[in-house]
Amino acid sequence: MHLNVEKLLKELTVEEKAGLCSGEDEWFTKAVARLGLPAVMVSDGPHGLRTQKEKKDDRYVGSVEAVCFPSGAALASSFDRGLLERVGDDLGTEASSEGVHTLLGPAINIKRSPLCGRNFEYYSEDPYLAGELAVSYVKGVQKHGVGTSVKHFAGNNQETHRMSVSDEVDERTLREIYLAAFEKVVKEAGPWTLMCSYNRINGTYSSENTWLLSDVLRKEWKFGGIVMSDWGAVDDRVLSLEAGCELEMPSSHGSNDKKIVQAVKEGKLPISVLDEAVRRLLVWIDKGLGRKAETYDKDEHHQEAREIAASCAVLLKNEHKALPLESGDGVLFVGPFAVNPRYQGGGSSHINSHLVSGAVDACPDSVQYLPGIQDNCEKRSPKRLREAVAAAAKAKAVVVFVGLTEAMESEGYDRTGLGLPDCQNELVERISAVQRRTIVVLSSGSPVTMPWKDKVSAIIDMYLGGEAVGEATVDLLFGLANPCGKLAETFPLRLEDTPSFLSFPGGKRNVFYQEGVFVGYRWYDTRKMDVLFPFGHGLSYTAFTYRGLSVERKGNGADILFRIKNTGRRDGAEVAQLYVAPPVCSVPRPSKELKGFAKVFLKKGEEREVSVHLDARAFSYWDGGWKTERGTYRILVGSSSRDIRLSESLDIAGDPSVPLEVTNTTTVRDVLEGGEDFPAFKEMMDQVFRMIGDDPMTRETLLGCPLHSLQSFLAVTYEDVLHMLGR
C-alpha cells in the first residue's frame, strides 16, 4: 500500500488537514477513514521499546514486554559505530514486529552539566562523537522501514523548567556544540523526523522557532522529513506550523485543530503553509506503510544486549591487575545492586524488560553475597555493614556494587550533586580498609565523585547497562570479556569545577550559556584542570602501542595514518582518538577537539594500520559561516584526551582572505594581521616601529589603535590611511 499524496491533498478538507497536524491520542496519528488514510503509531524507545497498546478508562496502561538495551550514556562509551548500528538494527526489528511506524530516538543532546537528570539517555559532551554514533543508530533502525525521531532539537540540556526556560546562547556556541550532532545525522542518515524540544532558544520556543526549523534545518541542511513536537511542547499552534513544526503530539483534543482552521479561514495562515505541512506528513506516513512485520527471538536479543553491555563498560582503574578475577572461590559480592541491578533510567524511556539479570544470579555458585546496606541503596544498616566488613576481611577479593538510584536521576528533574548516597561511600571505605583487593562496580547514568578512588584496586563503570547488565558484569569481572569502552564525558573532581557551575540550571525564565563553546573536556583541557577521569579514558586487560603517524594535507583537510599494536596477552579492542589543536586564532578556541576516532579489534600481538580522514570542517569554527584560519595545526592521536601518544604538525592554508571591512573600530593590528597586502601602510608602520625601538608599551598601544586615531599619534589623517588601504 502506498499513498497518492497529491490526490489526497486535493481531496482532504481543511478540517481534515488541520486534524492530521496533531495526534489522535498519546501514540497514534489521526486516520481519515473515508479516504483510506490509516493512523500510524509512534513509540518511545531510544534503548528499547516502550510501546503501549492497552487502554483502561481511555488511557494507555503498561507497555509491551521488550528487551532493554544499554542506555545512551553507555552506548556512547563504546565509541563503536558498528555497535550502534547493531542496536538500531535490533530495535528496528522489534519496532517492526510491534507495528511501530516511528521510534522516538535517539536522544543526542549535549551533556552541558553532569547534573542534567536525563544525561543517562544522551550520548556525550562532544558533538562529533554524538553525531557519528547517531548516524549509525538511525541507519540501523531505518533499514527496517521504521522511522526515527532524533531528539530533542535543540538545547534540551536540563530538566529544571525544561518546558519553559529560555537558553540564552550565542550562534557560534549553538553551531559548534548544540546543533552539530543534529546537522551530521540529518545530512548523513536522513532521519524521518526530528523532535523539537520544550525549551525556548533566545526567547523563542523551539516549536515556533523559524530560524531553527526552517532557515537552518530545512533550507540550510536540506532536511526532508517532518518535525514533531515533544509531548506538550506546542505553545501557539499556528506560529509553530508556520515555523515548520508539522506534527503536534500528543492530541490537542481538537482545540489546536480548530485554531488552524480558523487562521486559514480568516486569511491569517496561508493555505499553502498548511498544504505543505500535510504533504510532508503524508510522505512520512507513506514511508512506513506496506512493510512486512518482522519477528525476532527475545532471548537472542537478550544475549545481544549482554554482549553490547560488555562492549560499553569502562574500566576506570585496575591497579596490580586486580581484574580479571581468576575464579569465584573466596570472592564476596556486596551491595543490593548485585542482586537487583540499576540498569535503566526513569521517565519516558523506562522499559517493561524481558529478562533482568543480576550479577549474583549470573556468577559462579562459589561467590558469596551480602547486602551491606539497606535494599533501597540509600540508607545505612549497621548490622549489615558489620557483617559485610567482617566477611570482607576474610575474602580473597570483594566486589562492591554501588551507583545512583532511580530516585536520584530521572527525566523530569535534575540532580542536586555529584555524590553517591553516603551509605554507599561508607560501605566502600569500610571494606577497602580491611580488604586490599576491593573492586567497585559502578551503575549510574552520569558522573559521580569517588572519595574512595585511591583506596580501591579497581573500578569498572557499567553505566546503565540494560537488562543483561548482571551477566555482562560477571563476564568482565572474570575475564570472559575484555573491557574496551571509553568515557564519552569527563568525570570532574567536584561540581564546582564544571564549566556551567555558575549558570546551571539558571533562573525560572532564562539560563545563560556563559561557558560558550568550552563544554566538557574543551573546558577542563584548555584550562589544564585536574579531573577524576578524562574524556576518552578507559583501560583494558591488554595493552596497546601507537607508532608511525603520517599526515598528508588534502586541500583544507588531511589524511591521517598511524599504526596500533596489541602488545599484551589478551585479544582486545582499542579506541584511537584523533584531536585537532588549532593555532592562535582570532577567536578563543579549545586547546583541542575530537575530530576522528576508530575502534580497532586486535588479537594479541597483532598490529594494524588505521586511517582517518579529516575534512575542512575539522579545522573550522563558526563566524557567520564555517571559517578555517591559516596556520600550523597539531594532529594529536591518543588513548584519551589526556593520553596523547602521537603528534604531528600540519600547515593549513585557510580560507581565501576576505577584503578588510574598515569601520570605526578597525585597528592597526587588524590591518597588519588580516592577510591582505597593504604595502604603503605596512611600510609606514615599519618605519614607526623602527623609530620607537624596544618600547613594548608604545608598540602595543599603536597596534591596538583604531585607524581614525592615528592622526593623534602619527600626524596622518584617516583619509590618508583609507587611501593607503585602497578604500
Task: Measure the CA–CA gap between 205 and 478, rounded to whole angstroms.
Answer: 51
Distance CA 714, CA 248 (A): 65
What span, in angstroms and rounded, lies between the C-alpha atoms of 600 and 605? 13
**Grid cell locating 494:** 567536584
Which pairs count as long-range contacts for 643-652, CB under 8 Å and 24+ apart, including other chains?
643/534, 643/536, 643/537, 644/579, 645/545, 645/546, 646/546, 646/547, 646/549, 646/562, 647/549, 648/549, 648/550, 648/551, 649/551, 650/551, 650/553, 650/558, 651/553, 652/553, 652/556, 652/619, 652/628
How would DSSP label each residue in 523-544?
HHHHTT---SB-TT--B-SS-E
Are residues 131 and 187 in contact, defined by beta-carbon separation less than 8 angstroms? no
Are 245 and 196 spatial neighbours (Cβ–Cβ below 8 Å)?
Answer: yes
Cell output for 159: 530538566
The residues, any chain, with a CB within 8 Å of residue 75's CB and separated by 6 or more, are 47, 69, 83, 84, 87, 123, 133, 137, 308, 312
| Sheet containing 510-512, strands listed edge to edge, beginning at the edge strand earlier in sequence | 204-205, 200-201, 166-168, 510-512
Single-letter amino acid code for the residue at 349: S
Measured between alpha carbons, how far is 119 from 519 in angstroms, rounded to an integer?
Answer: 14
Establish whether 461 is a catalytic residue. no
| Catalytic position from the list 44, 230, 461, 475 | 230
Ramachandran class of 705: left when φ > 0, alpha when ψ lies in -120 to 50, beta otherwise: beta
- What SS3 string covers 545-585? EEEEEEEEEECCEEEEEEEEEECCCCCEEEEEEEEEECCCC
CB neighbours of residue 445 within 10 Å: 29
Specify whether the CB–CB gap between 181 and 110 falls below 8 A. yes
Which distant-in-sequence residues (6+ apart) come within 8 Å of 255 by Cβ? Answer: none
The number of beta carbons lying within 10 Å of the beta carbon of residue 217 is: 24
Distance CA 239, CA 287 (A): 27
> For residue 396, which phi and psi values (nearest 5 degrees)?
-75, -35
Rg (CA), the chain: 28
Q: Which residue shows C-alpha cell 556512547?
A: 76
φ, ψ (nearest 5 deg) of residue 506: 80, -165
Looking at the DSSP bridge assignments, the partners of residue 358 are none
Burial of residue 297 (CB within 10 Å: 0-12, 13-18, 19+) is: exposed
Side-chain-facing half-sphere of 407: CA atoms under 13 Å: 5
CB 447 within 8 A of CB 525: no
Q: Coil, strand or helix: which one is 647?
A: strand
CA atoms of 125 and 180, how far apart (whole Å): 12
CB 718 within 8 A of CB 711: yes
3-state helix/strand/coil string of 591-641? CCEEEEEEEEEECCCCEEEEEEEECHHHHCEECCCEECCCEEEEEEEEEEC
Active-site residues, by number, are 230
